[in-house]
Amino acid sequence: MSSTTFDNYSYFEEETGEERVRYTSLTDPLDQWALYEEGVRTEPAPKPEMKIPSGSAQFLDLLCSERPSAWVQAGCALLDASSDAQAEFWKAHKKLRKRARKRKRVQRVALSFKEPTPLLFCAIAAVGNSGDALLESVKAQVAERFDELGAQRTLAIGSVISSKRPYDALVVVDRPRE
């Protein structure tokens, strides 16, 4: 298999008999940087990086330190969303917690993103519910959204307003069943 780069377009070729098959990489900035680092490309390319909102960094740090069930899937689901989508989620989560404190009752939010693949973010801010009760509330919210929007990959969190943690309950649906 050989690799070729033309300006901003990368693809891989594979010869099978008389046919030539090309696979696009869909990682052009990464390819350009890696090929320059390996000496295959002569034009320098900056190392690409994903901008991580502070809410995502805090969430990922806690996730990696505690390693709850499906922690890898939770991190991947979050990072599959764009930086802007992540920032929107954490902004909504912050507003949700503030509103729950002010109203002294549970507040909920759901954000659905279609690109690059369907992804649902759900959050609950609870006044006093914690533990199993909070987890069950998060599961119920996910089930309601599935009834409304259809099953899809989901990252859902529950937070107690008195907590400083990014999440106190976590639900991840990595491969939804219809």
Same domain for 62 and 135, yes or no, is yes
pLDDT of res. 118 = 85
Same domain for 105 and 159, yes or no, is yes
Same domain for 103 and 33, yes or no, is no
Confidence of residue 25 (pLDDT cuts 50, 70, 90): low
Same domain for 27 and 76, yes or no, is no
Is the pLDDT at 11 greater than 90? The verdict is: no
Same domain for 64 and 17, yes or no, is no
Is the residue at 44 inside a domain? Answer: no
When pLDDT is averaged across residues 92-109 and rounded to a whole number, the result is: 94
Question: What's the domain count of the chain?
Answer: 2
**β-strand partners of 126:** 160
Asked if omega into 116 is within 30° of 0 (cis), the reply is yes
Domain ranges, residue 150: 54-173
Is the pLDDT at 94 greater than 80? The verdict is: yes
When pLDDT is averaged across residues 155-178 and rounded to a whole number, the result is: 90
How many helices (H) does the chain have, and how many strands (E)? 5, 7
When pLDDT is averaged across residues 37-49 and rounded to a whole number, the result is: 87
Is the residue at 48 inside a domain? Answer: no
